[in-house]
Structure formats: C-alpha cells, structure tokens
Amino acid sequence: MLIKTTKKLYKGKYQYNIVLVCAFSVVFRGNDLNVTARKIDNEEKLVDTKWAWKNPSEFAYAKELYNMLITMDDFSIRVESPTITCYTNNYSDIIALREIDISKVRRISVPMVTLTEDSVYMPEIDYEFRVTIGGTKHQYLDFLEWADAIDKLRITNSCREMLSQRSSYGGGHFYVNGENMLLMCRMQLAGINLTVHRIVH
C-alpha cells in the first residue's frame, strides 16, 4: 500500500482519496448508488451459476464496499476498472474503507496541511504563488526577458518553452512572490488564461 501526500484538493473539494482494487468495480460506474444496488442484485443472481464471471469472494468485497459507501455523507467515486477511487473529506471514511480488506488498497492520499480550493502544498518551493498558464496564441518573449531580471519570479523550463512558441496548449507554470508582482504578471500576460494557487508549506 502506497501513502501519498495530497498536494491540492481533488476535484477542487476533497482532502483525501483511497484507491481500491475491485474486480466488480463496473457496478459502481456513474456515482449513483441506487443504480449500483440494482447491478449488485443482478450480479448476485449469477454468482453461483455457470454464468458467473468473477469469484464469489470478489463479489462479497464489492458488496461490502457498497454497504460502506451508503453510510458515507459527502464523497465522490471514480471507476477505472479494476479500481475504484473514493474521494472524501472524512479521514474516518478512508480508514473504514481500508479496513474492509487492506490487501485491496493500492494507494491512500492524505494532506500534510489543511488545503483550500485555491492552494497547493509545495514545501520545497520558496514562493507564494504557483501560476499555471493556459493555451497561448503567440510568443511572450518580452515577458520572459522582463521576468529574468526580477528575483520575485521563477519561470520553469516547460513554461519558458511554451511562452517562446508561436502557440501552445499551455500547462506550464511559474512561481511568484507578492500580490503586486502577481498583478503585474497578469498584466504582462493579458490574453492568457492563468490559474493561480497559493503555495502552502
């Protein structure tokens, strides 16, 4: 089982996640537990017949997962066969899901600090903000030259490459210290969609 650090909120909302290996993960598709209940009923009719496609212990695990999920208040799941990722803000839910069968747990992610929607955990970065650039339609060489002369900015290589191209899909980021410097960057890069996260340590 791998323990990872949550660096920013999952889906902009959740602090924790757990990835579980489940042979019957398909019954959980859609995030609708009423539909899941019907799928489980249908699968249960096949478990002891020649039409069963997974063994009974795997099915029993899926039922236990379902029984746990219906007791949880605020969560979201993502199904990527054969795994189910559950997102939640309740650590007790993570523990309860883990305890169903610890051998089925692939990974758990927990935050080192309480995160907010606009924050990112980066203890090794000595800046206040991480700015991710959106798609570009022309070069921003003047910005790069200006940024190189300022110690409150750090441009990553991927971001530098994207801003040097005539167009790019974006995704690179740079780091900024100070609200005023962030505002100046927004002005210099007018026309690019910028996503800003406050860095927490």
pLDDT at 11: 92
Would you say residue 53 has pLDDT above 70? no
pLDDT at 52: 53
Residue spans per domain, the chain = 2-111, 119-200
**End-to-end CA, the chain:** 25
At 31, the pLDDT band (50, 70, 90 cuts) reads confident
13 Cβ partners below 8 Å, 6+ apart? 76, 87, 89, 117
pLDDT at 59: 84
83 Cβ partners below 8 Å, 6+ apart? 19, 20, 21, 22, 25, 106
**pTM greater than the 0.85 cutoff:** no
pLDDT mean over 9-20 = 96
DSSP secondary structure letter of residue 7: -
Residue in 123, 131, 102 with CA at minimum distance from that of residue 189: 131
pLDDT at 2: 93
What CATH architecture applies to the domain 119-200? 2-Layer Sandwich (3.30)
